[in-house]
Structure 1
């Protein structure tokens, strides 16, 4: 699985997914879809859109990745995970096909989600890309609308080392005559998206990130950009008569995203004495936003529980971390987890104070033991660090 193993499990080819989709009878064609890509924020945006659609009374499928605690988090309908029985039965029914075609974890999971949404007769499904866009397993759908949150450097070994290369991969979800909404603000990347949209005769909409945003229950000022994007997607769907949603439904849906969809790990407050926050930020852009948000908090001392995976640009992340904090570092319990000695070396280069531990749980317990009630504990650096805590 890419989630645990990394690049060695990635397949840059849609043919397996197409073959599986044909084998299943093209389940994704039985309902409307919305396709979401981007470096950061696509999960939050997807959940916001799903929450608003649910508030309007639609039966909404939601496919996201990665999961935190339970594989079934990836496949939800109106916030409820798919059943264990369905997962088991789907694998048993199609095991021979999986083995004969040597399908990857992602490919199987996408087929599973599309089939589940068909069987449960959803009205509409919000589909988040797993990695990139152009060659992502989800990219066999023709959605009613697509959205791309932003562009930053992540998964560079697969998507490319430049912003333009990464934008090209994300723009791969733009389909013929399908409108697309773009959250990215930099002019040279907007030009890249504009060119891709023109080639596909796609009407393109750019978000003004200086405009007012509707409030959401998801914490963090960085959610404002995601909220603007989600509202624009819903508004365009409304205008094109794909859905019928009132302004009140939009506002109410945004105010109960976590409750309605089950989203976790986005500046999630786990405790108040001391205040303890978990955030799945795992790349430069994500960490930058989280640290900026932490600067708005009131506390005496800052304690950061930190772990990373080995295929990230660790030094660029370390440079963003505050000097006035104590770090409790450990290795996430997955094959991709960065060894604690390696992470320690990066922190040494950044002149940061730290203690090393054998597990994320042990790191957090020590942070809790040493923190005062007026202090702040931040758990971040990797989805997998947060997954071991919540």
Structure 2
């Protein structure tokens, strides 16, 4: 079976976004698409994400894939990925994110997310915020889409540690090598989607696939000492990250290196930082894509959070590396866009380590 995968954003290289059977699109194939379609791109003035989505669909067509896994870029209703006619749709955790575009309440954001629900196409989600579930239910009913809601009570947690989680779901006993209970829901969502697509799915193959799962930038341990990198950048993601680290290291203080985009709900994120971190260090990425240290420091001052500002990711990482590892945990978090800098500071060759 040939499987295409389209996700965003990338961590280090653009090629990560478009893959077939775990092989990333080549630079040559990217150039081929751009050379062939450059006039259309200029004439229509497509956005970066629209162009990327078209590239993915064209690449998948050329590779004669059997199944495509397509992640929306932002929201859902107006997302350029939403032109497809899917076999099944899945909605994961809905939280306050991209509020300048999707809306300033969880209800508004949920309506945008529910925009991927299609007439007579199955939809799967998991139990979460009541307002979110109500909107998904109403949209599914209006579209005559069969809705599956995964409940926490359907899952039996057997054990968890710093290597991953062991749990039961239906007839499966799953050994998930990702840190955090929140990843259990993502895993179970994926299982349900696969079961709809593939009749009489082989449980042994499911278990084998999951046990070989890796996901860079998700509570990823960078050293033998307790220093982690996580791309969490909204309230729910950061809360899940903190809860996981505290569960695995209950007696240790948290030190954080933090940078983030300007469209995030910093009020709620600030509450988490204030409650959870012994010290927070702030910085900005080399490309100046994230909030400047000056702007971020003003936000944290207003929220009465003690912090240390540094001029670069490199300087911040050096401080994190020198914390007392017997008493503390280091967390680098807040954005995908510092991944390359972070990996470089820990001597990791992304292409060799993560390909």
TM-score, structure 1 normalization: 0.79
Which residue, 104, 117, 134 being the options, matches 2:47?
104
Q: Does 1:250 align with 2:197?
A: no
Partner in structure 2 of residue 308 of structure 1: 260
- For structure 1, the 5+ residue unaligned runs are 1-57
Once the 2 structures are TM-superposed, how far is the Cα of residue 372 of structure 1 from its aligned partner?
A: 3.4
Write out per-residue CA displacement over residues 225-281 of structure 1, whole angstroms, 9 at most, x where no aligned residue: 11121111122223xx4xx530111111111121xxxx31111111122x1111110
Which residue, 83, 89, 109 being the options, matches 1:140?
83
Q: Does 1:286 align with 2:237?
A: yes
Q: 1:365 to 1:229 in 2, by over 3 A?
A: same
* CA distance in structure 1 between the aligned counterparts of 2:186 and 2:233, rounded to whole angstroms: 17
Q: Does 1:95 align with 2:38?
A: yes
* CA distance in structure 1 between the aligned counterparts of 2:299 and 2:190, rounded to whole angstroms: 37
* CA distance in structure 1 between the aligned counterparts of 2:76 and 2:276, rounded to whole angstroms: 36
Once the 2 structures are TM-superposed, how far is the Cα of residue 198 of structure 1 from its aligned partner?
A: 1.9
Which residue, 1, 4, 9 being the options, matches 1:66?
9
Partner in structure 2 of residue 272 of structure 1: 224
Is the contact made by 1:303 and 1:371 (CA closer than 8 Å) also made in structure 2?
A: no
Once the 2 structures are TM-superposed, how far is the Cα of residue 387 of structure 1 from its aligned partner?
A: 4.1
- For structure 2, the 5+ residue unaligned runs are 156-168, 344-355
The within-5 A match list for 1:49-198 is: 58-198=1-141
Q: 1:309 to 1:188 in 2, by over 3 A?
A: closer
With 153-162 and 213-222 compared, the bigger mean Cα shift is at: 213-222
Is the contact made by 2:127 and 2:151 (CA closer than 8 Å) also made in structure 1?
A: no
Once the 2 structures are TM-superposed, how far is the Cα of residue 365 of structure 1 from its aligned partner?
A: 1.3
Once the 2 structures are TM-superposed, how far is the Cα of residue 209 of structure 1 from its aligned partner?
A: 2.1
* CA distance in structure 2 between the aligned counterparts of 1:297 and 1:349, rounded to whole angstroms: 32
Which structure would you say has the larger RCO, counting Cα contacts within 8 Å and 6 or more residues apart? 1
* CA distance in structure 1 between the aligned counterparts of 2:276 and 2:305, rounded to whole angstroms: 6
Once the 2 structures are TM-superposed, how far is the Cα of residue 166 of structure 1 from its aligned partner?
A: 1.1
Q: Does 1:235 align with 2:195?
A: yes
Once the 2 structures are TM-superposed, how far is the Cα of residue 68 of structure 1 from its aligned partner?
A: 0.8
* CA distance in structure 2 between the aligned counterparts of 1:354 and 1:163, rounded to whole angstroms: 29
Is the contact made by 2:179 and 2:244 (CA closer than 8 Å) also made in structure 1?
A: no
* CA distance in structure 2 between the aligned counterparts of 1:387 and 1:202, rounded to whole angstroms: 41
